[in-house]
Amino acid sequence: MSSYHALSEAEAVEYARGIPNLFTPGSELTSREIGDGNLNLVFHITEPSTGKSVILKQALPYAKVVGESWPLTLDRARIESEALMIQESLCPDLVPHVFVYDKELALTGMEDLSDHIIMRRGLMEGNRYPLFAGHIGRFLAHTMFFTSDLGMNQQEKKLRVKQFINPELCKITEELIFDDPYRDADTNDIPPAIRDAVEALWNDNELKLEVAILRTGFLTKAQALLHGDLHTGSIFIKPDSTKVIDPEFAYYGPIGFDIGAVFANLLLNFAAQEGWSKDAASREDYRSYLLGTIREVWETFEREFRSLWNEHGTDRMFQTPGYQDWYMQQVLRDTFGYTGSKTVRRVHGLAQVADINKLEDAAAKERAQRIALQIGTGLIKYHRQANSIDELLDIAVKAVR
């Protein structure tokens, strides 16, 4: 065991060499730091002679995206590795395998997924992933049902809530998603071309009331163990495989928050299609694919969650006729609201998305930002009335008419 310090590439190699039964003793290993996220170091260690490899992910004691002025707990490495292990026990094919967690170094050694690509990049390249909706719908249903009061012992669930108390990372979300975008905060990065639309949000009390209600849910509704940051940069993908990574924001929160993260990031790509697609026909076609994916994710999630409940439900009162329908409607309504909140924050808050920011054409970028704001605010304002996933898709379609 060594005390905490950020590893160099050479030290990462030596660390990997010590992981039991992974590499050939004495063989040459290479290391590359490949982290392009907002918070951590990520080393890709390979053994060229056999093609074996491993990923070492190390938490830094600050947010890399901002710098050392933003200190951040190393405990997030424990949260991430423990969440991955629970998720692996429920959906073994949908997360990377964890080989080792080192508390002192805040480091997790896990399966290398270099044969996959980050889904955000895949969508920006115009790829389609027909199996994704089934995979992620199952991931959402299984990981959230079996960690909730519906599907596990309710005393053990309380201990799980304690295990996943994650105050510092939750605070990031509370500020960057549910506060800063709705005021003139220093953290915002406001595109000058849409300043008028951003300022309109700051003065929209109807909108801010709904955001305050969603923020309350994020602060208090300990429904299930969430991934906590399930955007398309937290998903590795290839045509026949989906892997959810990076659950360092995991905590007990509202189920609709994770579903909303997936939908928001599909909608951000949807909003940006005027910049990515070659022509009007391919743009409409890709947008239909994205909306079809959202529908299929929701339908898979709902079908599987209800079926797990009917087969494995542990609580007698929760079998009362009508309760399951009420519960699913609340999850749907939360999903609308969190989809909206997570769409808005990526337009002018800290940590925006490449789907929009990599657009070279200024007019296409501005249009994408305005579409995203329209979809996001529309969903937030409508969320407490929502009754069907079709209404979410309608709000998206109307924003691009």
Annotated binding site for ATP: 40, 57, 111-113, 246-248
In the bound complex, what is the minimum distance in angstroms from residue 373's beta carbon to ligand SR1?
18
Site for Mg ion contains 258 (CB under 5 A): no
Site for ligand SR1 contains 171 (CB under 6 A): no
Number of helices and strands in the chain (H, E): 15, 12
Dihedral pair phi/psi, residue 57, rounded to 5°? -110, 125
Q: How far apart are CA 232 and CA 129, in angstroms?
A: 13
Which structure tokens are listed for 313?
């439900």
In the region spanning residues 306 to 365, those forming contacts with ligand SR1, defined by CB under 6 A, are 350-351
Site for Mg ion contains 179 (CB under 5 A): no
Instruction: Please name the amino acid found at residue 89.
Output: S
274 binds, among Mg ion, ligand SR1, none (CB under 5 to 8 A by kind): none
One residue of 246, 258, 302, 334 binding Mg ion per CB under 5 A? 246
Nearer to ligand SR1, 265 or 335 (CB): 265
Site for ligand SR1 contains 229 (CB under 6 A): yes
Binding segment (CB under 6 A) for ligand SR1, from list 99-107, 108-116, 172-180, 387-395? 172-180
Neighbouring C-beta atoms of residue 67, cutoff 10 Å? 8
- Mutual orientation of helices 255-271 and 323-348 as an angle, nearest 10°? 40
Cβ neighbours for 29, distance < 8 A, ≥ 6 positions apart: 13, 16, 17, 23, 45, 46, 47
In the region spanning residues 36 to 95, those forming contacts with Mg ion, defined by CB under 5 A, are 37
One residue of 4, 11, 38, 174 binding ligand SR1 per CB under 6 A? 38
Radius of gyration of the chain (CA): 21
Cα four-point dihedral sign 167, 382, 141, 139: negative
In the bound complex, what is the minimum distance in angstroms from residue 342's beta carbon to ligand SR1?
8
Q: State the distance between the two ends of the chain, measured CA to CA, in whole angstroms.
A: 59
351 binds, among ligand SR1, Mg ion, none (CB under 5 to 8 A by kind): ligand SR1
Which structure tokens are listed for 387?
């009754």
Helix (H) or strand (E) holding 258: helix 255-271
- Interstrand relation of 235-238 and 62-63 (parallel, antiparallel or unpaired): unpaired
Nearer to ligand SR1, 191 or 233 (CB): 233
Contact indicator for 141, 305 with CB cutoff of 8 Å: yes
Site string for Mg ion, 4-43 (x = CB under 5 A): ---------------------------------x------
In the bound complex, what is the minimum distance in angstroms from residue 89's beta carbon to ligand SR1?
24
Binding region for substrate: 229, 345
Which residues here bind ligand SR1, judged by CB under 6 A? Answer: 38-39, 63, 65, 172-173, 176, 229, 350-351
Which residues in this chain contact Mg ion in the complex, by CB under 5 A?
37, 246
